[in-house]
Every structure is written in structure tokens, then in C-alpha cells.
């Protein structure tokens, strides 16, 4: 068992209260590390160190292309330790090892993408009148807070931290208490760089303590949060009291809309992968299946058969589906499945299972529920597990209505060979991302990601995310 520390102002430190939190492997329930239980005093120290670093001439004088070089160095360090990091992410989160590797590769791409962008964000000149030169510049916002969820820790840390540092900001990361281990490694890599102390800080602790202290700290200048609507609302409220902007990505109830003219084989695989990745513990999981009524029985039989073929096991066994994070999360999903017994029909799955040799983990069969009302909590609330709810539609307009019938709007998949119908739906579906005849586009580091409605606001990933971490200044010069 490792005893780990926080990284604040260029030093490895314990929490002021001397308390620790156990980190468990979801596959087995085994304690694999302890981390400091940071609280307000620890967070305040990290934020002040980031503020001091941001105001320092040493950091201000780092040129944009040099900041890019720093990010490329982090990417190289991740590459060099790819195997170790993939196994660490798998042990920490429980996801299958193949998915762990995919997350590490995505982290590499984030640091590369934003490393290449660091010296390419331009301002504009604006024509006013003769005798006036007017131009804009984008300047860093200052200290940025990054509150990272437990399901994709290294990916979500990398996508926001790399963008923030590319633009010249300083960073305080608060990792999830359940899955902090790869964040610790990223802190180690930043410690090995030749940069001022305080540019990168990593604090650990519970969300109600360290997370709340970070989002409400008056010295932060931007907060990025990924997680539940309830916690996101609290983060936004706390930040707003200090007039601080936030970027929120708050989950979804994402549909795959399947028409009878789809490519059957590819669509089945797309629908299945969209819900079983990370055991369904994914904000963008395709948790609703909307199928054209005339095609339903034929298509659903194929999806059910595919579910029956899926294997379940510990993360390092690299099966199709790994464990649920912990007992609390597992029980929450089981509560939804009890509702399903009354309000729908479970076609496959629906039970907790034991994996030999990993009896301390929490494993669930991948589940398909049919016959659910569109108004049911099964259709409206994020279950965050390998549970797929099925609905039918008669025509394009009914499909559109069903797709838009929840309070979320993060991702939508449309499966059809009719390109006019696909474009029509894409233009009218309330969703931050729409995928046509695919779902996820290979991770899409370059593609803006974020939601409509209660799925949040602002965008992560892609070029546009750089603007989260800048403020626009206009300069007007009058000359004779």
C-alpha cells in the first residue's frame, strides 16, 4: 500500500489535520493507497501558491512556445510510462485494461494538442476610423481550479490542465478521493519540469471539504467541474459569489436513435459499446435506445444476444465490463433495477454477480429494460451503470420528440443511411454533440464537448476550450 502526499507549491505535503483517506481497488475492494484528507487550509495554501506563481516574472516571462514545450514534455513522460499508467488507472477506477490504455493515449493527445496550440491563439484588429488602431489580445485568466471526477481521472485532468497552462494560467487540481492515483503521477511529472513552484498544484480530499473550499476560494479566477448536476450547481453557486466563471459538464441521458435503414452490424456494436464502456459509468453513455417500431424486434434481438456474450471481470483481466466503483454506487444502480421490475421488462441482465478471486468487488450484469414509460425515472435520470432503456418511435418527428424528452442534452447518436433525415435531426436535437453512424468518433480530442440544458455549459476539448482560460482585452491607439 502506497502512502501518498499532496503537491503544493513545489513540495510534497500531508494535510494540516494529519488525516488520510483509503483508496480502494474497485475490482477487489483492496486498499491500494492512502491520500491526505485535505481541507480548507490546505486548499488555501495551494491557491495562494498558484496566485504567487501567476504573478511572478518567472512565469510571465515564459514564452507561449515555451509553455507548449512544457506540455510536450509532459506528453513524453506519459508515453514513457504508458504501461504503468494504464495499469494504475485500471487498478484505481476498475475499468478494463484496454480502456485504461485508451485513457492514457487520450491524455498524451491532450498535452500534445494544447502544446501545439500554445503559441497560435491570436487576437484581432478591428477597423474603427482613420487615426485609430484597435486590437484585441487574449490574456490568461489567472488561477484555474480543476475539480476532476472519478470515472476518467487522467483524461479529464489532462484536457483542462493542458489547455489552462497553454494559455499561461496556473493550476490547482482537486482529484476525486476514490481515484487520485494517476493525478499523483501527473503531479510528479510537473515536479520534474523546470517551472516556478506553484504553477501546478494537486490537492486531495473529499468534495464537501477540499472541493467546496476550492470552488469558493476568492483567489481563483476560473473553475472547471465535471460531475453530477447537484454538485455542479454547488460549484457554480460558490464561484458565482466571487464573480468567477465556470465550465460545467454535468452528465446526460444520451440516446441512440436507430432507423430501419441503418447498417445493422455497425449499429449494434455502436449501441453496445456506448453503454458498456467503463461499466456504463460515463457521462456520455448511450443509456437510451430509440428504435423505429417496425424494426424493433429484429434489432433488439441482436442487441440482447450481444449483451449475453459480454464478459465480466476485474480490470486487469481485461474483460468487456469491469466493476462498479463501490458499494454505494452499486446499490444506487440496484435501486433503479428494482424500479425496472415494476415499470418495465428486463430482457437481459439485472443482477449483481460475483467474480471468482475478486469477491470484494461490485459487479453487475449488463442490463436491457424494455417497456418503460418515457416519463419514468428510468428514462429521465442518469443511472450511471451498464443499463440500457429501450423506447420505440413510428416516424422521424416522434424520434425527435423522444430524443429531446429529458432534461439532459450531452450526446446523441443517429443511425440511418438517409443523410437528409440525419441532417434534419442533427439540426433539431438539443445536444452538444451529435454523431451520425458512429458514437464518440474515437475520443475526438479536437472536438468541442459539452452539453445543452442540465448537461452543463461551456465546452471542453478542441480549440474552443482554450478560450475558457483567457480573458479578452481591447486596446485602442489614437495617432496623428
The model's pTM:
0.97
Tens-place pLDDT, residues 362-387: 999 999 999 999 999 999 999 999 99
Residue 404 has pLDDT above 80, yes or no: yes
Regarding whether 25 and 39 lie in a shared domain, the answer is: yes
Mean pLDDT confidence for 439-460: 92
Q: Is residue 320 part of a domain?
A: yes
Segment (H or E) for 425: helix 419-428
Give the position of cell 455549459: 457
Tell whether the model's pLDDT for residue 480 goes beyond 90: no
**CATH code assigned at 363:** 3.40.309.10
Do 362 and 389 belong to one domain? yes
Per the domain annotation, does 452 fall within a domain? no
CB contact at 8 A, 324 and 330: yes
**What is the mean predicted confidence (pLDDT) over 128-144?**
97
Same domain, 469 and 345: no
pLDDT of residue 1: 78
Residue 341 and residue 277 share a domain: yes
Q: Which pLDDT tens digit goes with each residue over 259-277?
A: 999 999 999 999 999 999 9
Domain ranges, residue 367: 255-444
Give the torsion sign (CA, 213, 214, 220, 221).
negative
Is the pLDDT at 412 greater than 80, yes or no? yes
Residue 305's pLDDT band (boundaries 50, 70, 90)?
very high
DSSP 312: B
What's the pLDDT at 217? Answer: 98
CA 66 to centroid of chain Cα atoms: 28
Looking at the fold, whether 106 and 206 belong to one and the same domain comes out as yes
Inter-residue contact 180 to 23 (CB < 8 Å)? yes
Whether residue 298 is found in the same domain as residue 382: yes
Q: Residue 442 — pLDDT band, cuts 50, 70, 90?
A: low
169 in a structural domain: yes
- Residues facing 362 on adjacent strands: 324
The closest of 402, 396, 391 to 423, measured between CA atoms, is 396
Helix ranges (DSSP H) in 257-326: 264-276, 296-309
In a domain, 426, yes or no: yes
Stretch 163-180: mean pLDDT, rounded? Answer: 98
CA-closest candidate to residue 466, choices 31, 113, 98, 21? 113
Does 397 lie in the same domain as 330?
yes
Quick one: 223 and 287 in the same domain? no
Do residue 33 and residue 160 come from a single domain?
yes
Same domain membership, residue 464 and residue 420: no
- Catalytic residue (choose from 89, 249, 292, 382): 249
Position 451 in a domain: no
Domain count, the chain: 2
Q: Tell me, yes or no, whether 235 and 282 share the same domain.
A: no
137-153: pLDDT as tens digits? 999 999 999 999 999 99
Tell me, what's the pLDDT at 107? 98
Pairing state of beta strands 246-249 and 20-24? unpaired
* 468: CATH: 3.40.605.10
Q: Is residue 336 one of the residues assigned to a domain? A: yes
Known catalytic membership, residue 249 = yes
Q: What is the pLDDT of residue 443?
A: 74
pLDDT in tens, 178-226: 999 999 999 999 999 999 999 999 999 999 999 999 999 999 999 999 9
Share the mean pLDDT of the chain.
97
* 243 and 302 assigned to the same domain: no
Taking only the tens place, the pLDDT of each residue in 307-337 is 999 999 999 999 999 999 999 999 999 999 9
> How far is residue 280 CA from its own chain's centroid?
13
Q: What pLDDT shows up at residue 444?
A: 86
Residue 158's alpha-carbon distances to 127, 185, 227, 235, 367, in angstroms, are 38, 12, 16, 20, 32
Q: Does 449 map to a domain?
A: no
What confidence tens digit (pLDDT) does each residue in 63-95 have?
999 999 999 999 999 999 999 999 999 999 999
Grid coordinates given for 324? 462498479
In a domain, 189, yes or no: yes
Amino acid at each position: 500500500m502506497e502512502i501518498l502526499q499532496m503537491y503544493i507549491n513545489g513540495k510534497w505535503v500531508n494535510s494540516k489535520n494529519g488525516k488520510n483517506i483509503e483508496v480502494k481497488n474497485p475490482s477487489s475492494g483492496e486498499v491500494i493507497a492512502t491520500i491526505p484528507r485535505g481541507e480548507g487550509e490546505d486548499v488555501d495554501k495551494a491557491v495562494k501558491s498558484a496566485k504567487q506563481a501567476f504573478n511572478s516574472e518567472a512565469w510571465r516571462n515564459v514564452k507561449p512556445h515555451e509553455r507548449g514545450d512544457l506540455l510536450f514534455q509532459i506528453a513524453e513522460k506519459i508515453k514513457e510510462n504508458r504501461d504503468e499508467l494504464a495499469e494504475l488507472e485500471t487498478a484505481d477506477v476498475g475499468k478494463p485494461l484496454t480502456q485504461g490504455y485508451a485513457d492514457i493515449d487520450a491524455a498524451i493527445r491532450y498535452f500534445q494538442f494544447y502544446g501545439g496550440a500554445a503559441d497560435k491563439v491570436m487576437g484581432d484588429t478591428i477597423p474603427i476610423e482613420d487615426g485609430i488602431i484597435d486590437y484585441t489580445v487574449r490574456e490568461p485568466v489567472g488561477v484555474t481550479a480543476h475539480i476532476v471526477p472519478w470515472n476518467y481521472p487522467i483524461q479529464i485532468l489532462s484536457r483542462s490542465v493542458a489547455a489552462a497552462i497553454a494559455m499561461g494560467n496556473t493550476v490547482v487540481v482537486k482529484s476525486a478521493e476514490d481515484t487520485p492515483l494517476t493525478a499523483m503521477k501527473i503531479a510528479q511529472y510537473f515536479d520534474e519540469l523546470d517551472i516556478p513552484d506553484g504553477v501546478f498544484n494537486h490537492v486531495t480530499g473529499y468534495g464537501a471539504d477540499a472541493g467546496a473550499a476550492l470552488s469558493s476560494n476568492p483567489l481563483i479566477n476560473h473553475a472547471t467541474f465535471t460531475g453530477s448536476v447537484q454538485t455542479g450547481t454547488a460549484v457554480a453557486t460558490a464561484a458565482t459569489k466571487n464573480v468567477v466563471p465556470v465550465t460545467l459538464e454535468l452528465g446526460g441521458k444520451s440516446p441512440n436513435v436507430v432507423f430501419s435503414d441503418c447498417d445493422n452490424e455497425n449499429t449494434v456494436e455502436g449501441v453496445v459499446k456506448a453503454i458498456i464502456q467503463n461499466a456504463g459509468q460515463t457521462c456520455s453513455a448511450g443509456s437510451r435506445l430509440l428504435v423505429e417500431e417496425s424494426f424493433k424486434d429484429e434489432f433488439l434481438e441482436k442487441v440482447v444476444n450481444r449483451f449475453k456474450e459480454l464478459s465480466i471481470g476485474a480490470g486487469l483481466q481485461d474483460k468487456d465490463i469491469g466493476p462498479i466503483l463501490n458499494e454505494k454506487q452499486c446499490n444506487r444502480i440496484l435501486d433503479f433495477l428494482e424500479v425496472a421490475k415494476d415499470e418495465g421488462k428486463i430482457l437481459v441482465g439485472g443482477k449483481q454477480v460475483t467474480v471468482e478471486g475478486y469477491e470484494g468487488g461490485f459487479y453487475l450484469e449488463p442490463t436491457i429494460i424494455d417497456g418503460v414509460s418515457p416519463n419514468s425515472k428510468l428514462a429521465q435520470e442518469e443511472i450511471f451503470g451498464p443499463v440500457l432503456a429501450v423506447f420505440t418511435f413510428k416516424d422521424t418527428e416522434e424520434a425527435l420528440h423522444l430524443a429531446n424528452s429529458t432534461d439532459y442534452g450531452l450526446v446523441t447518436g443517429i443511425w440511418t443511411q438517409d443523410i437528409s433525415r440525419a441532417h434534419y435531426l442533427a439540426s433539431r436535437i438539443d445536444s452538444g454533440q451529435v454523431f451520425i453512424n458512429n458514437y464518440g468518433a474515437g475520443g475526438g480530442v479536437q472536438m468541442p464537448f459539452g452539453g445543452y440544458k442540465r448537461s452543463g455549459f461551456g465546452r471542453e476539448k478542441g480549440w474552443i476550450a482554450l478560450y475558457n482560460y483567457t480573458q479578452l482585452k481591447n486596446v485602442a491607439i489614437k495617432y496623428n
